[in-house]
Structure formats: structure tokens, C-alpha cells
């Protein structure tokens, strides 16, 4: 079998042309066309008949709905829908036709379920970064890690073990704005879909956040909104909590207050001190972080004001 059959960087058109020339059989081409899958995301103001309008148009073009999830935020009057489709998309402009029948201002996208391109930002802690690296290596996440950027070089040996580019961008001797700009320059070399903060322990400037709005995912070692800011496990210990947790959220200019994507907890007792709570929390942080990246990579998340809609 030619190498490009297993190389996802080659286009669908190359595959079609190879089959046509090699087998001289349009039946193979038809089968390959029909096996094409895309993800349709729809967000608009709510009104009766939206699902019928969308699915009827899909049926009209002989598109098969493999999976469909929808949600209505009744308070905000917003409609959200994620649809997995398969069929021949070569002769239709589905987005244009949908906009003609959906409410004015509807937001729509139609894309392949290709691996999301991810940049990871880190400092010195290894558990969240290592968790994502390992899951990506095992193909357990629908992502391609393009590079890791850190303000220290402590984690470079870990990243090198996975044959992924590592960039050290030191913050020493420069302003926060200057440091963020240097990181932006490296990120822009890769054009990622997601920028994930794997325990990146620096507060980002508003300019940085604005440039990657809706693509910045952070992991916070607390069950937000409790214990915002630094040393949350110490705060939790002082408060005598009986559960600790972790929260993955989108980054905004309000510290640790962006829309929440995923959370989890574990029960604790009076026996654990602050160090013990931190040790227990690392596994939760790693798990929650990986889940959030996966939901984003699979296009399962809609940002809905200061909240999210996540179709798991």
C-alpha cells in the first residue's frame, strides 16, 4: 500500500486520483466519497423547528447523521447543536444553504475531524505535561502536539523523549509584555488550534489572551470557584475541606474565572496536610486537563457567555 494511505498530511483528492488511475473504477471512488465524515457546529438564537431545518437539508443532500447532540439555553434563548455527518460533500455548499434558513447571525462551521494542532505551555511541573504527552503518544487524544514552550528548561529532557520540539523562552530580565510577545512569536510559527497551559505559572497579558481568545485552556488546581489564585491546596487545608478538585477552563483576563470546561474531585480527610492534598490533586489535574483538551480537539465545546456547553 502506498505510504500516503497512512499519511494524514496528504489530501483526500490525492487518494481519489490514485484510486481512479490504479483501479480505473469509479465504484471505489464513490465508496470513498461516501465514507467522508465532517462535523457541523451550529449556534444561533432559539426558535421552533431548528432541528428539522438542519436535518431536512442534510437529508436532501443524502448526508447521513451519525451522531447528533443539541441543547437549548432557555434563559439566554440560545440553541447549540453538534452533528457528525458522512456523505458526499463535494457538490454542496451546506453552510450557505443553512444560513439561508436559520436565524440571522447564526454561527456555523463544517470541518473534518482531523487531529487538532496543540501547543503546550509549561514551567517546571511535569505531571500535566507528561500526561498529555503520554496520551498523545498512545493516540488516546485527537491531537498533534506541535511543540512545548516553557520559561525554564527543566522539562526539556521529558519532551525530547517524545521527539517533540521544545522552546525555552526565559522571562528573566524582560517585562511581562516583552516575554509574552516572544512566546507569541514562537506560537505563530505553528498556527495551533489549541494553546494549553500545562501548569504554566505566569499570568498572561490581556494582549496575549486576546490573540488566542477561545483557544487558551488552563488547568487550575482547585474546584473553582473555590480557592482562586496561588497556593489553593494551602487555602483548602486551612479551610479544612473534605474534597479537593481540579478545574480546566478557558483563559480570560479575569484570573481563574474563565468558562469552565471540565472538573473532577476526590474525597480527603483531616489526615492530609497541604503537601498531601497537593499530591492527591496532581492525578486529578492531569485527568481533567487531558479531558478538556480532548473535548476541544473533538469540537465538542461551545462557549456560552461565562459558561460552556460540552457535548461529551
Q: What is the pLDDT of residues 120-169, one digit of tens each?
A: 999 999 999 999 999 999 999 999 999 999 999 999 999 999 999 999 99
Domain boundary among 85, 111, 137: 111
Nearest to 194 by CA among 279, 310, 296: 296
**Cα separation of the two ends of the chain:** 35
Tell whether 86 and 51 lie within a shared domain: yes
Domain boundary among 111, 142, 160: 111
Tell whether 211 and 140 lie within a shared domain: yes
Of residues 267 and 186, more confidently modeled = 186
The count of domains in the chain is: 2
Three-class SS of the chain: CCHHHCCCCCCHHHHHHHHHHHHCCHHHHHHHHHCCEEEEEEEEECCCCHHHHHHHHHHHCCCEEEEEEEEEECCCCEEEEEEEEECCCCCCCHHHHHHHHCCCCCEEEEECCCCEEEEEEECCCCHHHHHHHHHHHCCCCCEEEEEEEECCCCCHHHHHCCCCCEEECCCCCCCHHHHHHHHHHHHCCCCCCEEEEECCCCCCCHHHHHHCCCCEEEEECCCCCCCCCCCHHHHHHHHCCCEEEEEEEECCCCCCCCCEEEEEEEECCCCCCHHHHHHHHHHHHHHHHHHHHHHHHCCCEEEECCEEEECC
Tell whether 122 and 219 lie within a shared domain: yes
For residues 180-188, average pLDDT: 98
Q: What is the pLDDT of residues 48-107, one digit of tens each?
A: 999 999 999 999 999 999 999 999 999 999 999 999 999 999 878 999 999 999 999 999
Tell whether 279 and 148 lie within a shared domain: yes
Active-site residue, selected from the candidate residues 256, 264, 273, 283:
256
88: annotated active-site residue: no
Tell whether 71 and 140 lie within a shared domain: no
pLDDT band (50, 70, 90) for residue 295: very high
> Considering the chain, what is the average pLDDT of its residues?
88
Tell whether 166 and 180 lie within a shared domain: yes
CA distance 122 to 143: 17
Domain boundary among 78, 111, 144: 111
pLDDT at 30 exceeding the cut of 90? no
- Where in the sequence is the domain holding 204, given as residue range(s)? 116-310
Tell whether 101 and 237 lie within a shared domain: no
Tell whether 42 and 145 lie within a shared domain: no
Tell whether 102 and 140 lie within a shared domain: no
CA distance 68 to 97: 19
Its pTM stands at: 0.85
Tell whether 89 and 105 lie within a shared domain: yes
User: What's 18's domain CATH number?
Assistant: 3.30.70.260
Tell whether 201 and 253 lie within a shared domain: yes
Tell whether 23 and 162 lie within a shared domain: no
Amino acid at each position: 500500500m502506498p505510504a500516503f494511505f497512512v499519511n494524514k498530511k496528504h489530501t483526500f483528492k490525492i487518494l481519489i486520483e490514485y484510486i481512479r488511475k490504479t483501479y480505473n473504477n469509479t465504484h471505489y471512488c464513490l465508496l470513498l466519497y461516501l465514507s467522508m465524515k465532517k462535523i457541523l457546529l451550529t449556534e444561533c438564537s432559539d426558535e421552533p423547528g431548528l432541528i428539522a431545518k438542519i436535518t431536512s437539508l442534510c437529508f436532501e443532500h443524502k448526508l447521513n447523521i451519525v451522531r447528533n447532540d443539541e441543547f437549548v439555553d432557555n434563559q439566554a434563548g440560545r440553541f447549540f447543536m453538534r452533528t457528525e455527518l458522512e456523505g458526499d460533500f463535494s457538490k454542496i455548499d451546506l453552510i450557505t444553504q443553512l444560513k439561508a434558513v436559520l436565524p440571522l447571525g447564526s454561527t456555523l462551521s463544517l470541518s473534518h475531524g482531523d487531529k487538532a494542532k496543540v501547543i503546550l505551555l509549561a514551567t517546571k511541573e511535569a505531571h500535566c505535561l507528561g500526561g498529555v504527552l503520554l496520551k498523545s503518544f498512545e493516540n488516546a487524544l485527537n491531537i498533534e502536539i506541535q511543540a512545548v514552550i516553557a520559561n525554564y528548561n527543566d522539562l526539556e529532557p521529558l519532551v525530547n523523549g517524545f521527539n517533540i520540539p521544545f522552546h525555552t523562552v526565559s522571562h528573566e530580565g524582560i517585562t511581562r509584555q516583552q516575554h509574552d510577545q516572544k512566546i507569541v512569536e514562537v506560537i505563530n510559527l505553528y498556527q495551533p488550534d489549541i494553546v494549553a497551559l500545562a501548569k504554566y505559572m505566569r499570568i498572561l497579558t490581556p494582549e496575549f489572551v486576546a490573540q488566542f481568545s477561545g483557544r487558551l485552556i488552563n488547568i487550575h488546581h482547585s474546584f473553582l470557584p473555590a480557592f482562586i489564585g496561588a497556593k489553593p491546596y494551602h487555602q483548602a487545608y486551612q479551610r479544612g475541606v473534605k474534597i479537593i478538585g481540579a478545574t480546566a477552563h478557558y483563559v480570560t483576563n479575569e484570573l481563574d474565572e474563565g468558562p469552565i470546561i471540565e472538573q473532577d474531585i476526590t474525597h480527603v480527610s483531616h489526615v492530609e496536610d497541604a503537601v498531601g492534598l497537593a499530591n492527591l490533586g496532581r492525578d486529578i489535574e492531569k485527568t481533567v486537563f487531558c479531558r478538556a483538551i480532548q473535548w476541544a480537539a473533538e469540537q465538542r465545546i461551545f462557549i456560552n457567555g461565562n459558561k460552556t456547553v460540552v457535548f461529551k
